A and B are shown apart, each in its own frame.
Chain A
Amino acid sequence: MIWSKRNILFPLKLTDSLLHGILRAGAVISALVMLLISLFLIVESWPVLGQISPVRFFTDLSWHPLEGAYQLMPMLAGTLYASVGALLLAIPLGIASALFIAYYASPRLAKWYKRLIELLAGIPSVVFGFWGLTTLVPLINQLHPPGASLLAAILVLTLMILPTITLTAYSALMAVPIEFLRNAAALGLSRWGMIHGVAFPAARAGIVAGIILAMGRAIGETMAVLMVAGNVVQYPDGLFDPIRTLASNIALEMAYAMGDHRAALFISGLLLMVMVMMLSGMAGWLERSRHA
C-alpha cells in the first residue's frame, strides 16, 4: 500500500515514525510482562527448587512444608479430580447448549439464551463460591456430611466452565460452511444425523480446543473451589470427601508462609502455570490446524 508522508492533518514527517516507535514500545512491554512473571516465579521458588530434587514433591511423606516435607501429589490429584469431574458434566451440557443456539432454537430464543450464557460467564468466581457455600454445601450435607466436598467443587466448577465450552463450541459450529449443512439436508438426513455426521466432524478441532481451554480454567480456579471444597489435604475416597486443590492451597497458606514454605508455594504456582501453558498451547495448536 502506498502511504504519502506529507499531508494536511499531520504535517510533521516525524509523527509517523514517532508513532510507530511508541506503538512498538507498547507492544514490546506487553510481551515482556509474561517474561517478567515467569522470571519472578522462578526466582522466588529457587530457594527450594535449587536445593532439593524435584522428585521429592512426589515422594515425600506428606505436605508439611515447615518440617521440610513437600508432597504435592494429594493436591495435584484433588485438582485433577475436580477439573475432570467438572469437564464430564460441563461437556455434555455445554455442547447441548451450543447445539441449541446453533440449530434448535428460533433466532430470537437463540439470541436470548446466548446472552444468558455470556452473562453467566461474567458472574465472578467468588459469587459462585458464595452461592455454593450457602446453598449447595448445606444440600450436600443433608445427603452425606460434611457437605464441603469434591462433589460441591465439581458442581461449582461445572457452572464456571460451562460458558467457555458453550461459546467456543458455538463459534466452531458457526464456522462450518453452510453448504455442508445444506447438502446434508438435501440428502434427507435427520437433524441429529446432520449434527453427528456433518457438523461435529467439521467443527471437532474448535470444540476440542474450547474444552482444553475450559480444563485450563478449571485447574487454575481458586476462590470458588476454596470456598466449597473443604480444603483437607488428602486423596479423596469418594465424591463426598473434602479435597484441597493446588490453587486454593496457595491462597490458604500464602498469608503466613515464610522462607522455604513460601518458595514451595511459588513452586506450586509455577507448576500450575506450566500445566495451563501446556493446555493453552495445545488449544492454540488445534485452532491453527483448523485454519490451516
Chain B
Amino acid sequence: MLKINAMRWRHFYLDRLVQIFVYLAVFLVCAVFLWILIDLLRGGFAHISWGFLIESPRDAGRAGGIGSILVSTVLILLVALAAALPLAWTAAALLAEYVSTTSKLGIVVHYSLQVLAGVPSIVFGLFGNAFFSIYLGLGFSILSGGLTLACMLLPILVSTAEAGLRAVPDSYRSAAAALGMSRAAALFHLLLPIAAPTLAAGLLLGIGRAVAETAALLFTSGYADRMPGSLLDSGRALALHIFDLSMNVPGGDAPAYASALVLVAMLLCINIFAMKLVQDWQRRRTILE
C-alpha cells in the first residue's frame, strides 16, 4: 500500500514538474520574441519617417533613407517571381493532377525539389555567382540576383501549390468528368479557382522568404546602393543593407535598426495575411464538404 502511494505521488510530482517546464519554456519563447520586437521598435522607431522611406542613402547609409534599396528589393523580387511562378505552378499542377506520386517522373521531381529545399542559401549564392553572374555574363545585377532567388523559391512554391490542389476533394474531379469537361477545362475552370487562396498563400510565403534572403544575394545582386537604372544594374536588397550597415559601417546602427524594423514589419504583414488566407480557405472548405 505504501509503495503504491509513493508511486502515485511520484507520478503526480512528475506530471506537475513537466507542466511547469512546458509553461516556463513557452514563457521564455514569448519573452524573447517580445524582447526582439521591442528592441527593434526602440532602436528604429525614432528614425523612421516618410523621408527615410523614399530618400536614397547617403554617406554609406549613415544618412538619407532606403528609397533606392526598397526599389532594388522589389525589382529583385519581381524578377524572382516572374521566373519561378510559371515553373512552380506548372510543376505543381502536373504533380497533383497528372502523374501519380509513384510514377518515375513524380518520384524524380519530388526528390529533387525536396533536396533543393534543404540546400543552404549560401550555396545558392555560390551557384548564382558561378552560373548567372559569370557563366551567363549577367554580372552583379538585379537579374542574376532575382534568378538565383527564383531557384530558391521553387520548392516552397511547388509544395504549397501542390498541397492546395491535392486538398480539393476528388468529388469535384468526378463531377467535372461526368459533365464531360476535358482535364484542361477542369483544371482552369474548377480546380485552380478553388485552390486559388492556397496558391496565393504559398505566393506570399515565397515573397516573405525572398525578401528575407541575404546570403544568396551577397555575390549575385551586389552592393551598389544607388537607384538601379535597369535590371542589369547592381542593386542592394533591404536585408543586405541591414547586414552592411551593422557589419561594415561604423555609426550605422540607427538606420540599421530602422531598416530592420521596416523589414520585420513588412514580413509580419505578409505572413499574417498568408495565414489569414489559409485559415479562411480551410473554413470555407469544411462548409463546402
Residues of A that sit less than 8 Å from B by CB: 1-7, 9-10, 15-16, 19-20, 22-31, 33-37, 40-41, 43-44, 92-93, 96-97, 99-100, 104-105, 113, 115-120, 122-131, 133-135, 159, 162, 190-193, 195, 213, 216, 219-223, 226-227, 247, 250-251, 254-255, 265-266, 269, 272-273, 276-277, 279-281, 284
User: Is there an interface contact between B23 and A247, defined as CB atoms closer than 8 Å?
Assistant: no
Are the CB atoms of A133 and B120 closer together than 8 Å?
A: no
The answer to whether B174 touches A127, judged by C-beta atoms less than 8 angstroms apart, is no
With beta carbons under 8 angstroms apart, the residue of B26, B112, B123, B260 that contacts A272 is B123
Q: Is the CB of A100 within 8 A of B22?
A: yes
Q: Does B40 contact A (CB under 8 A)?
A: yes
SS class of chain A's interface: helix, strand, loop or mixed? helix
* Residue B212 at the chain A interface, CB threshold 8 Å: yes
In whole angstroms, how far apart are the Cα atoms of A191 and B13 in the complex? 12
Interface size class of B (residues with CB under 8 A): 35 or more
Give the docked Cα–Cα distance between A113 and B28 (Å).
12
Residues of B within 8 A of A116 (CB): 29-30, 33
Give 20 A-B pairs besides A34-B113, A126-B243, A280-B114 with Cβ atoms closer than 8 angstroms.
A7-B185, A10-B185, A16-B183, A19-B187, A26-B86, A30-B113, A40-B127, A40-B131, A40-B135, A92-B21, A93-B29, A96-B21, A119-B33, A119-B272, A124-B214, A190-B11, A220-B118, A220-B123, A269-B126, A276-B118
Instruction: State whether the Cβ of B228 lies closer than 8 Å to any Cβ in chain A.
Output: no
Question: Which residues of B lie under 8 Å from residue A131 when comparing CB positions?
Answer: 36, 39-40, 260
Bound complex: CA of A92 vs CA of B257, how far in Å? 31
Report the stretch among B47-55, B74-82, B91-99 that lies at the interface: B91-99
In the complex, chain B residues 58-90 whose Cβ is within 8 Å of any chain A Cβ = 86-90
**Residue in A23, A193, A216, A226 whose Cβ sees the most chain B Cβ within 10 Å:** A23
Interface residue? B156 (CB, 8 A)? no
Kindly provide the distance from the CB of A48 to the nearest chain B CB, expressed in whole angstroms.
14
Q: Which residues of A contact B249 (CB under 8 A)?
A: none
* B138 interfacial by beta-carbon distance below 8 Å: no
Check if A119 sits within 8 Å of B271, measured CB to CB.
yes
- B5 CB to closest chain A CB, in angstroms? 15
Tell me if B123 and A273 are in contact (CB < 8 A).
Answer: yes
A122 CA / B115 CA spacing, docked (Å): 21
- Contact yes or no, A97 B271, CB < 8 A: no
Residues of B within 8 A of A123 (CB): 36, 212, 264, 267
Interface contact B126-A250, CB-CB below 8 Å: yes
A129 in complex: contacting residue of B15, B18, B117, B243, CB < 8 Å: B243
Across the interface, name the chain B residue whose C-beta is closest to A103: B22
* A251 B130 Cβ-Cβ under 8 A: no
CA distance A9 to B129 in the complex (A): 46
Contacts of B24 in A (CB 8 A): 96
Is B4 part of the contact surface with A, judged by Cβ < 8 Å? no
CB closest residue in chain B, given A278:
B118
Residues of A within 8 A of B124 (CB): 37
Partner of B15, one of A96, A190, A251: A190
> B residues touching A (Cβ–Cβ < 8 Å)?
11-12, 14-15, 18-19, 21-26, 28-30, 32-33, 35-36, 39-40, 43, 86-91, 93-95, 98, 105, 108-109, 112-127, 129-131, 135, 151, 154, 158, 173-174, 177, 180-185, 187, 189, 208, 211-215, 218-219, 239-240, 242-243, 246-247, 253, 256-257, 260, 263-264, 267-268, 270-272, 275
The 7 A-B residue pairs with the shortest CB-CB distance, nearest first, are: A220-B120, A26-B90, A124-B212, A96-B25, A280-B118, A23-B94, A34-B112
Task: State whether A31 and B112 are in contact (beta carbons under 8 Å apart), knowing that A19-B187, A92-B25, A116-B30 are contacts in the complex.
Answer: yes
Q: Tell whether A15 pairs with B184 under 8 Å between CB atoms, given A30-B88, A40-B130, A227-B247.
A: yes
**Complex CA–CA separation, A2 to B26 (angstroms):** 52
> A128 vs B264: C-alpha distance in the bound complex, in angstroms?
10
- A25 proximity list for chain B (CB < 8 A): 90
Measured between beta carbons, the chain B residues less than 8 angstroms from A29 are 87, 91
Question: A1–B177 contact, CB under 8 A?
Answer: yes
User: How near does chain B come to A281, taking the closest CB pair, in angstroms?
Assistant: 8
Task: Report the separation of the CA atoms of residues A118 and B24 in the bound assembly, to the nearest whole angstrom.
Answer: 19
Please state if B151 and A37 are interface contacts (CB–CB under 8 Å): yes
| B25 close to A33 (CB less than 8 A) | no
B260 touches A127 (CB 8 A): yes
